[in-house]
Each structure stands twice: as C-alpha cells, then as structure tokens.
C-alpha cells in the first residue's frame, strides 16, 4: 500500500485543472473591456441639447455624446440617495460621469449619466 487514500487520485487533477482555468477566465474578462463594450468619461457639461427624441451632451473636454433619449439613464448622486431623473434634469455646469455601453457591433445599448456635482 502506498499510504494515500484513493481520493487523492481525484483531488490532485482537479486542483491542477482549476489552476489552469483561472488565467483563461481572467483573460476573457480583460478582452471584453478592451473591445470597447464600455466607455467611461468624466467631465462637466458644457452643453445639453434635447431635440425631439435625441439628446446631445457636450463635455468641457470636447467629448460629444449623441443618443436617443430612450437609451439614456440619468441618475442624480448628489446628496444621500440616488434618484432617477430624465434628460431635462441635466443642465450646463453639472459634473457628470458618462458610461456608454455598446454591443459587439458598436451600436449603443445604454448611456448612463451620473450627476455628481
């Protein structure tokens, strides 16, 4: 007898498999971020233009974001609680964080604007 229980024949290969799988899972997450599925920008609103069902936001750094109002989510983070708002709540001079989520084809899925100041 070798002194080892038969369970070691199962446990050792399982541990080796898990150790090999962890880098692959981590690599898949990093490529999703690199492919441009989410873009984050911080800044101050220098212009807000609402025309019909389209909203155009311009940040002080020169970034221009044009989207349908249906895909826009506005969240007011000032104060103690977060509140959902509409595009008409946005005004010039507000500090914002804009997160744009796209599908793999590059089409905009949602744009989340968080008002921070």
The confidence score (pLDDT) of residue 1 equals 46
Domain enclosing residue 72, as ranges: 38-115
- The first and second tokens of residue 10, run together, are 């199962």
pLDDT score recorded for residue 99: 92
Could you tell me if residue 6 is inside a domain?
A: no
CATH number of the domain at 70, please: 2.40.50
Query: Are 26 and 41 within 8 A, CB to CB?
Result: no
Flag the least confident range among 14-23, 40-49, 65-74: 14-23
Least confident residue range of 25-29, 44-48, 89-93 = 25-29
**pTM of the predicted structure, to 2 decimals:** 0.66
Phi-psi region of 3 (alpha: psi -120 to 50; beta: other; left: phi over 0): left
Q: How many domains does the chain have?
A: 1
Please state, in angstroms and rounded to a whole number, the distance separating the CA atoms of residues 91 and 93: 6
What is the pLDDT confidence band of residue 115, given thresholds at 50, 70 and 90? very high
In a domain, 109, yes or no: yes
In terms of phi and psi (left: phi > 0; alpha: psi -120 to 50; beta: otherwise), the region of 98 is: beta
- Assigned domain for 72 exists: yes
**Is pLDDT above 80 for 30?**
no
- Per-residue pLDDT band for 49 (boundaries 50, 70, 90) equals very high
Whether 30 is in a domain gets the answer: no
- Average of per-residue pLDDT values in the chain: 82
């Amino acid at each position: 007898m070798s002194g080892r229980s038969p369970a070691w024949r199962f446990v050792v290969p399982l541990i080796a498999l898990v150790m090999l799988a962890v880098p692959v899972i981590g690599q898949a997450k990093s490529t999703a971020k690199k492919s441009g599925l989410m873009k984050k920008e911080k800044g101050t609103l220098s212009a807000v233009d609402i025309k019909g069902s389209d909203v155009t936001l311009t940040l002080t750094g020169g970034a221009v974001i044009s989207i349908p109002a249906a895909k826009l989510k506005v969240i007011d983070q000032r104060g103690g609680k977060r509140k959902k708002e509409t595009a008409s709540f946005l005004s010039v001079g507000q500090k914002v964080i804009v997160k744009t989520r796209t599908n793999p084809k590059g089409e905009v899925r949602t744009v989340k604007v968080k008002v921070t100041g």
